[in-house]
Structure 1
Amino acid sequence: MTSTGQEPSIFTRIAAREIPATIVAETERIIAFEDIAPQAPVHVVITTKTQQYANVVELAGGDPGLMAELVAVAAGIAAERANGQFRLVFNTGEAVGQTVFHVHAHLLARTGPGTPAGDSSLGEGSLAFR
């Protein structure tokens, strides 16, 4: 259990290496891994190692520095995998598709040239991620 008394989320368990994942970036407080059901050529989940924050609104209000670190990790991954161009999606609330209530972002990008940033290869129309 976590310090808040709730069961560890799947992301907490990935960070603890209890559940396998393809980790693509990690800092002391952030972990990023490939999504198991990708919606775009590049689809990486970026999350905090703490599950203190359920969504991006709580994170931004509670720890703006951690929020900035999460975005910086996203930018670094996009620089390596997608020429620095990406979409960063945070779902906040069950009605919009959030199923894991541990703040996380979905980095979506394409890998090749010639496709506009908003095309369907980035999951347009299917942004109801977990």
Structure 2
Amino acid sequence: EVDKAHRASAAGEDAGGQPTIFSKIIARSVPATILYEDDKCLVFRDVAPQAPVHFLVIPKRPIPRISHVGPQDTELLGHLLVVAARTAQAEGLADGYRLVINDGKHGAQSVYHLHIHVLGGRQLGWPPG
């Protein structure tokens, strides 16, 4: 993941205006196992799961990084967290789970479209990094 993050950073955060894999999933030009969708966000299973349950919550409006959000994003960010919690419950994660947002090269962000990883289904270790 760190190597992918470094390659993504070297390619530029917006990849020259090219759509990310996540915007292609939103447009349905790339398949995904969708768990939930509404007018603001999309939830789908991670294709390379790092836990027995691993899904992503993404806004439909592309925001490259969590460090690029502003006051206008307050409602959307809250919505993403509520959707993450409800989907975790629907996925049977009653014993707990972890939310992860990677930001930038040092945060191991490999896709420059804000996304929340939800991981669970086993005991997760600490510290995570």
Q: TM-score, normalised by structure 2?
A: 0.78
Q: Secondary structure at the match of 1:96?
A: coil
1:1-130 alignment, distance < 5 Å: 6-51=17-62, 53-59=63-69, 61-81=71-91, 82-83=93-94, 85-110=96-121, 116=123, 118-119=124-125, 125=128
How many corresponding residue pairs?
Answer: 113
User: What is the root-mean-square deviation in Å for CA atoms of aligned residues?
Assistant: 2.1
Unpaired runs of 5+ in structure 1? none
Shift of 1:84: 6.6
Question: In structure 2, what is the Cα distance between the partners aligned to 1:84 and 1:103?
Answer: 26
Give the secondary-structure state (helix, strand or coil) at the position aligned to 1:33. strand
Q: What TM-score comes out, normalization by structure 1 length?
A: 0.78
- Greater relative CO (CA pairs within 8 A, separation 6+): 2
Q: What is the deviation of 1:68?
A: 0.5
Aligned partners of 2:72 and 2:20: how far apart in 1? 19
Q: Structure 2 CA distance, aligned partners of 1:61 and 1:119?
A: 33
The 2-side partners of 1:63 and 1:78 are apart by 23
Offset of residue 96 of structure 1: 2.2
The 8 Å contact of residues 13 and 19 in structure 1, kept in 2 or not, is answered as yes
More helix by share: 2
Q: Residues 80-112 of structure 1, C-alpha deviation per residue, up to 9 Å, x if partnerless?
A: 1111722110000112210111100100011xx
Separation in 1 of the partners of 2:118 and 2:72?
Answer: 22
SS at match of 2:28: coil
Q: What's the secondary structure of 1:63's corresponding residue?
A: helix
Mean Cα deviation higher: 9-18 or 54-63: 54-63
- Give, as a single letter, the amino acid of the residue that structure 2 aligns with 1:100: V
Deviation of the 1:58 alpha carbon: 2.2
Q: Counterpart of 2:120 in structure 1: which amino acid? A: A
CA-to-aligned-CA distance 1:61-80 (integer Å, 9 cap, x gap)? 44110001110110011111
Instruction: Note if contact 1:78-1:84 (Cα within 8 Å) is conserved in structure 2.
Output: no
